[in-house]
A and B are shown apart, each in its own frame.
Chain A
């Protein structure tokens, strides 16, 4: 079985500041992928960033970057220069063995 844990139900950040969302996971698979999804009130699930487990280099997409610690099974998301439009639910997800498992989500609030 595989699990994904997001220990922060809610986070708050000041506009233009940086925030880090935490995620830990567990899987017995050696080949897997990790994702962060954003879900705004529109309900649309939007892929923010992906990380291949076999790559040591941390993925980066513009203001979004990850800190992937494979040994610790940790996959945190850093959002730099936070914008009001970043306010949403963020889900960490693990894809292993053709199965996608989601964490419980973190609600991010951005203060103007």
Chain B
């Protein structure tokens, strides 16, 4: 199965700044996904990113706040913009492996101070 390298693994950021999270997949994948996970809770889908088209955002998430890039079939970035303490969370990327399930990056723990 595909392996995803996600970075940074953690960061502490000042409010009002932006952080870009990167995910590199070791094989080509059609669909990539970005999730947010509060500590001890389940994963919430932020958006779906397909190569060559704009990301599709879930209710409650907007492109201005979470711009996503998907320049090719092995790479994607998520930017958390104009951060506030409420954005403190774990962010995970994922890639669809078709019927074999989904592979996940190791997550980025973001703390906004």
Prevailing SS type, chain A contact patch:
strand
CB-CB < 8 A to B41: which residues of A? 104-105
Decide yes or no whether B12 CB sits under 8 A from chain A.
no
Which of under 10, 10 to 19, 20 to 34, or 35 or more describes the interface residues of A?
20 to 34
Q: How far is the CA of A103 from the CA of B96 in the complex (A)?
A: 18
Which of under 10, 10 to 19, 20 to 34, or 35 or more describes the interface residues of B?
20 to 34
Find the B residue at minimum CB distance from A4: B42
Give the interface centre of B40, B99, B101 by most chain A CB atoms within 10 Å. B101
B43 adjacent to A50 (CB under 8 Å): no
Cβ contact of A52, chosen from B31, B99, B106, cutoff 8 A: B99
Decide yes or no whether B55 CB sits under 8 A from chain A.
no
Cβ contact of A44, chosen from B31, B45, B107, cutoff 8 A: B107
A interface residues with partner B (beta carbon < 8 Å): 33, 35, 42-45, 47, 50, 52, 89, 91, 93, 95, 98, 100, 102-105, 107
